[in-house]
């Protein structure tokens, strides 16, 4: 990748990074009505510090992968709907968490927030391992040139380890924020993912050579020995 493309990618990545910080901060702290929201700062820290580190590593070591991860526009209607529903879930969940803190509807102990933060970081580590194992990963459902089926590492345990990682991360987010009501909203995510996976697997089995055989070899989609 040339210097001009690297600079362009850096600008794109850093713009999205700081936009994410501002947006999440507004969604959490405005409804909370206070900057003393411990769970809010904890979530911001465990989300954006590792993201900055991972993005910095990727821009030097795997710029092509970073470019694919920044591409978030789905072409398939079913997948586009899943992305929109996820966005709506995040929007509602973060706002409710802030309101929960402001009005003290059902505050969870700080211990819950800390344990949830550890689970979130574990999910982040799994996510990073998946990115390292699969150079074809993008944020959209597509088949890339010379793409092959990955069946080693975490892919030998479940067919969609990236979604397994995000399941841990996203379900722990509202608990980091200390909000039971927000957690109930985020329980929509497993159902969104199940719908997305069903359509994705139909597409991959049709378009990606060897995927049907891979499905026979690795039985579980998200959780080993369960589903």
pLDDT (0 to 100) of residue 205: 84
pLDDT (0 to 100) of residue 204: 85
Q: Establish if 195 belongs to a structural domain.
A: yes
Q: Establish if 67 belongs to a structural domain.
A: yes
Q: Establish if 44 belongs to a structural domain.
A: yes
Number of domains the chain contains: 1
Q: Establish if 222 belongs to a structural domain.
A: no
Backbone angles phi, psi at 210, to 5 degrees: 90, -5
Give residue-wise pLDDT tens across range 66-119. 776 666 555 566 667 888 899 999 999 999 999 999 999 998 999 999 999 999
pLDDT (0 to 100) of residue 137: 64
Q: Establish if 223 belongs to a structural domain.
A: no
Question: What's the token pair of residue 47?
Answer: 């989300």
Question: What's the token pair of residue 88?
Answer: 């709506």
| Domain encompassing residue 150 | 3-217
Q: Establish if 167 belongs to a structural domain.
A: yes
Q: What is the CATH number of the domain that holds 32?
A: 1.20.120.1630
Spans of the chain, pLDDT less than 50: none
Specify the pTM. 0.86
Q: Establish if 81 belongs to a structural domain.
A: yes
Q: Establish if 13 belongs to a structural domain.
A: yes
């Amino acid at each position: 990748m040339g210097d001009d493309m690297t600079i362009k990618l850096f600008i794109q990545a850093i713009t999205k990074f700081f936009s994410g910080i501002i947006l999440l901060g507004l969604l959490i702290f405005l409804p909370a009505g206070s900057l003393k929201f411990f769970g809010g700062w904890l979530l911001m820290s465990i989300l954006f510090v590792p993201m900055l580190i991972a993005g910095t590593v990727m821009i030097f070591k795997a710029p092509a992968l970073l470019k694919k991860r920044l591409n978030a526009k789905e072409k398939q209607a079913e997948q586009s709907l899943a992305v929109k529903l996820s966005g709506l879930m995040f929007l509602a969940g973060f706002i409710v968490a802030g309101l929960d803190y402001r009005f003290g509807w059902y505050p969870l102990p700080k211990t819950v927030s800390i344990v949830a933060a550890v689970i979130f970081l574990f999910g982040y580590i799994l996510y990073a391992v998946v990115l390292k194992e699969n150079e074809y990963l993008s944020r959209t459902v597509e088949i890339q040139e010379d793409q092959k089926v990955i069946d080693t590492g975490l892919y030998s345990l479940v067919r969609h380890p990236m979604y397994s990682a995000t399941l841990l991360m996203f379900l722990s987010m509202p608990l980091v924020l200390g909000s039971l009501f927000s957690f109930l909203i985020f329980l929509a995510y497993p159902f969104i993912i199940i719908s997305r996976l069903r359509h994705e697997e139909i597409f991959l089995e049709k378009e990606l050579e060897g995927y049907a055989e891979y499905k026979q070899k690795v039985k579980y989609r998200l959780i080993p020995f369960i589903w």
